DNA sequence: TTGACGAGCGATCGATCGTTAGTTTCAATT
DNA sequence: AATTGAAACTAACGATCGATCGCTCGTCAA
């Protein structure tokens, strides 16, 4: 039992164990590298060098490269799923405006800059390296997102079988915006990662979502 | 000079050179592998095995792995950029409907199933492996897309500095739809790659684009 | 003081990476 | 039939991959 914390406060207070801190340093360094170069493109030598350790020391904290990657993914995705669940679980009566939701999601991604790249790489490989625990959390979140969008589309512009496509489209617009920034800067010269660009994207997303939820005019 | 074709018809008729055909077989196999596993995740052994050759034979046609990858990318992206240029160069008077454009783009992607994955991987790495010739073709295409969207947004729902975000958003929705299919099937059970799903996506995209270009109501 | 243990390291493993050299096969041309 | 060149092969290279072995510290409890 750690001597620095009372048993009751232990989970809330700092963990403070010596090697536990090293594990976190490894996770932080590996997160950036995996996000930038992908799983196959990142070697344990890169990770060890970024942390300032030798390779064998990594194995004191993670049993294999695959498990290190899984730990990185869990550590990043899990808290975001929690927050997302909070958004989607809010009762309809307290539903925030489109602008508020978009602002919160964008702020969430600001706090987790590696998340979009990691998500894209994982979805692109069919989620083959996804932790089982993580995978089983996704389906209900998708389902809740479907219900929320369906309830928000009061005028019924979109048919029920288009709702999942709507959710996927929003996901791709948001995640894609962040992950294409380096490429877009390369080809156009404009930097999408500045605060001004971020605000512009929030403005655009708000207008776009409002347009999609506006009353549909008579069909021809 | 090849003996089978007249000099004038030579570029249009079949090339038919012996090793030229092998090079194409290599390109086809490498394209699928690079799209599925990425550059770092694909070994020349995988490529050779897929073609039915030994590794050194690959070097009779491509001087290195990097050049093979560049050739794969050029071969896939170049004709698509040509077609896209044709779309965007059409005069305003002959502008097709939204549904027509979306249908044509989706048909284009049907003919190049590996394109979305390759594009995503390339944009995610900042286009670091992009051929110079290919890179310089992108900026004018983006520019033309901006002009087209700007001209189509007759009611001025979006401000000029939001037009690039609009183009990027459409790009991400379309490309993301194709590349997330395996993952979405894994987590939800639904297959987005069936013809029915494709048609549903076309229907959704059309409704979405129409909504974005509808007359904006009075702002509050 | 001592013994157990967490956590770092150097050395090294077999496997695989991209790449090259040298040789053989074989069809087309002389 | 002899020649030749492209294109396939076998064999092997050094470098790097993920992973494991002992060893050595420091810390802390007994």
Any idea which nucleotide's C1' is nearest the CA of A25?
C7
- Reported as a pLDDT band with limits 50, 70 and 90, residue B3 is very low
| pLDDT greater at residue B7 or residue A215 | A215
Indicate the pTM of the whole model: 0.91
Whether B117 sits inside 8 A of A124 (CB atoms) is yes
C5 C1' to A43 CA distance, Å: 29
Q: Does B37 touch chain A (CB under 8 A)?
A: yes
Q: Lowest-pLDDT range, A40-44, A142-146, B85-89?
A: B85-89
Selecting from A37, A120, A211 the residue whose C-beta is nearest the C-beta of B120 gives A120
* Domain topology for A18-213: Tetracycline Repressor; domain 2 (1.10.357)
What is the predicted pLDDT for the residue at B27? 98
| pLDDT tens per residue across span B45-86 | 999 999 999 999 999 999 999 999 999 999 999 999 999 998
Whether A135 sits inside 8 A of B187 (CB atoms) is yes
Q: Does B81 touch chain A (CB under 8 A)?
A: no
Cα–Cα distance measured from residue B28 to residue B114, given in angstroms and rounded to the nearest whole number? 10
For the segment A41-46, the average pLDDT, to the nearest whole number, is 98
- Reported as a pLDDT band with limits 50, 70 and 90, residue A14 is low
Helices (H) and strands (E) in chain B, counts: 10, 0
| pLDDT tens per residue across span B25-48 | 999 999 999 999 999 999 999 999
**For residue A104, with 0-12 CB atoms within 10 Å meaning exposed, 13-18 middle and 19 or more buried, which class applies?**
middle
What does each C-alpha distance from B52 to A56, B37, B47 come to in angstroms? 39, 19, 9
- Reported as a pLDDT band with limits 50, 70 and 90, residue B4 is very low
Question: Residue A3, CB, less than 7 Å from strand D?
Answer: yes
Q: Does B184 touch chain A (CB under 8 A)?
A: yes
| pLDDT greater at residue B2 or residue A47 | A47
| pLDDT tens per residue across span A133-191 | 999 999 999 999 999 999 998 888 999 999 999 999 999 999 999 999 999 999 999 99
């Amino acid at each position: 039992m750690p001597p620095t914390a009372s048993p009751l406060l232990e989970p809330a207070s700092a963990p403070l164990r010596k090697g536990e801190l090293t594990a976190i340093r490894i996770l932080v360094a590996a997160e950036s590298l995996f996000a930038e170069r992908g799983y196959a493109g990142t070697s344990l030598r890169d990770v060890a060098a970024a942390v300032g350790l030798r390779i064998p020391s990594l194995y004191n904290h993670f049993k294999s490269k695959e498990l290190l990657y899984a730990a990185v993914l869990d550590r990043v995705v899990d808290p975001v799923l929690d927050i997302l669940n909070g958004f989607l679980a809010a009762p309809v009566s307290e539903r925030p405006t489109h602008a508020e939701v978009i602002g919160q999601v964008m702020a969430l991604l600001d706090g987790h800059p590696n998340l979009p790249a990691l998500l894209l790489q994982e979805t692109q490989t069919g989620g083959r390296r996804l932790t089982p625990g993580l995978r089983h959390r996704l389906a209900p979140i998708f389902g809740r997102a479907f219900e929320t969008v369906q309830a928000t589309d009061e005028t019924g512009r979109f048919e029920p079988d288009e709702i999942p496509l709507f959710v996927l489209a929003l996901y791709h617009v948001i995640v894609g915006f962040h992950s294409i920034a380096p490429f877009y800067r390369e080809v156009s010269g404009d930097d999408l990662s500045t605060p001004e660009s971020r605000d512009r994207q929030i403005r655009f997303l708000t207008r776009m979502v409002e347009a999609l939820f506006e009353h549909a005019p008579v069909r021809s």
